[in-house]
Amino acid sequence: MSVTCIVPVHNHWKTTAECLASIFKSDIPFPYKVIVIDDLSTDFTAKFLQNLLDMNKYPLTVLQNSANKGYLESTNAALQIVDTEYIVFMNNDVHLDKDCIKNLIEVYKKYPDTGILGATQYNSYWEEMSPLKFFVRGAGATQINHIRVSNIPKDLKDSEIIYVDDVHFACALTSKKVVDKVGPLDPQFGEGNYDQEDYCLRVRESGYQIAVAPKARFIHYGSVSVSDNMAYYSHLLDKNRVLFMKKWGDKLSQNKI
């Protein structure tokens, strides 16, 4: 049993350093690897990552993009070289609880119908961040509002697993078997937004469930990289919402997925 964490980064090297430190300090009782994709950072990121490699202390692989390719292409490049049984999609603006990855894999193994298992997001004060996501279907599946987000109900707080429609790839586990069947992230979504929702629906169409593991916890600081250019991020959000609804709108409105 083995796992690879995929972490695309662009600038904000101190944020990346905290993320990687939380992985390296995690209680992972089996072999693991970390692939960091440096998406043409212009700050100290490249030097910082090279310093880590020079230490030869961590199970780290660094891919350097020759151009700014965005989250999807960076993640897909890493997927091409993964050779472990499990894969964790991660953002660089997260801090893992030391048992997060171990809990994800323990739950994933117990529920073989699960294709993607998300960890539960918290803010920096360890307050829960609405981890449950469900797609609106039927007449309510509009271009503006197609997904509903909610907190974990009190009667499910102690659940080992909760089935949902969508999870955030800030920290989400899948297997190489699932990726080999479903394929890479859809490149039409360019630099990101709606790519994760799309992938979850593709996984569901392939016969798997999407779920959240309440006891697998992590802090998500949120949108650190996109904060550099929020106007462009909003443009991508609007553009990809249209692409997403063109691809999935009919199936959602007709309750076919």
Per-residue pLDDT of the chain (257 residues; tens, 9 = 90+): 899 999 999 999 999 999 999 999 999 999 999 999 999 999 999 999 999 999 999 999 999 999 999 999 999 999 999 999 999 999 999 999 999 999 999 999 999 999 999 999 999 999 999 999 999 999 889 888 899 999 999 999 899 999 999 999 999 999 999 999 999 999 999 888 999 999 999 999 999 999 999 999 999 997 655 555 667 768 888 899 999 999 999 999 999 98
State the Cα–Cα distance between residues 61 and 79, nearest whole angstrom.
13
C-beta atoms surrounding 134 within 10 Å: 14
CA-based nearest residue to 189, from 253, 141, 247, 116: 247
User: Do residues 17 and 93 touch, judged by C-beta distance below 8 A?
Assistant: no
3-state secondary structure of 43: coil
Look at strands 209-220 and 94-96 and give their pairing.
antiparallel
State the Cα–Cα distance between residues 197 and 167, nearest whole angstrom.
8
3-state secondary structure of 256: coil
Check residue 212 and give its pLDDT: 98
Check residue 94 and give its pLDDT: 98
One of 3.40.462.20, 3.40.50.300, 1.10.10.10, 3.90.550.10 is the CATH number of 3-253, namely: 3.90.550.10
Residues 6+ apart with CB under 8 A from 194: 237, 240, 241, 243, 244
- In one-letter notation, the amino acid at residue 234 is S
CA-based nearest residue to 45, from 28, 62, 32: 62
CA-based nearest residue to 119, from 135, 134, 99: 99
The two three-digit tokens of residue 31, written as one number = 């072999």
DSSP 165-194: SB--TTEEEEEHHHHHHH-S--GGGTTSSS
Domain spans of the chain, in order of start: 3-253
C-beta atoms surrounding 136 within 10 Å: 15
* pTM: predicted TM-score of the whole model, two decimal places: 0.94
CA-based nearest residue to 192, from 48, 89, 63: 89
